[in-house]
Amino acid sequence: MPSGAAAMSATRAEELSRQFKAIADPNRLRLVSLISSSAENEACVCDLTEPLDLGQPTVSHHLKILVDAGILHREKRGVWAYYSIVPGSLDALAGVLTEPK
């Protein structure tokens, strides 16, 4: 975020904060990590409940927050819901922190 660029607008800051808030939770960070480090780059709720040691409703809640923030993608196949990372979403956030040009 080096100098040379103009300062961030208030509305832009609001948008970005929503996405950063979605990641700024230990359990959600682990969710993203678990999904991205999985074999097929996707995981269902049942695969994520145990490693986080959280109840199923809580995991679903965190996943919803990540989906609403545009970071995760939800695809229902049969009885299971598969979550995957939206391509480029994390890189876009990373860019904000480096972006200076």
Partner DNA sequence: GAATGATATCGACGGTTGTCAATGTGTGGG
Partner DNA sequence: CCCACACATTGACAACCGTCGATATCATTC
AA letter at 13 = A
The three-class DSSP label of residue 83 is strand
Check residue 46 for interaction with DNA (CB under 7 A): yes
Matching residue, tokens 């959280």? 54
Query: Which among 13-21, 58-66, 72-80 is the span making contact with a copy of itself, rule CB under 8 A?
Result: 13-21
Instruction: State the Cα–Cα distance between residues 48 and 31, nearest whole angstrom.
Output: 7
Asked whether 12 and 50 are in contact (CB, 8 A), the reply is no
Q: Are 52 and 30 spatial neighbours (Cβ–Cβ below 8 Å)? A: yes
Shorter beta-carbon distance to DNA: residue 59 or 89: 59
Is 57 a binding residue for a copy of itself by CB under 8 A? The answer is: no
Residue 2 vs 78, nearer CB to a copy of itself = 2
Looking at 2-10, 34-42, 53-61, 88-96, which segment touches DNA (CB under 7 A)?
A: 53-61
Question: Under the rule (CB under 7 A), what is the footprint of DNA?
Answer: 21, 24-25, 27-28, 44-46, 54-58, 60-65, 74, 78-81
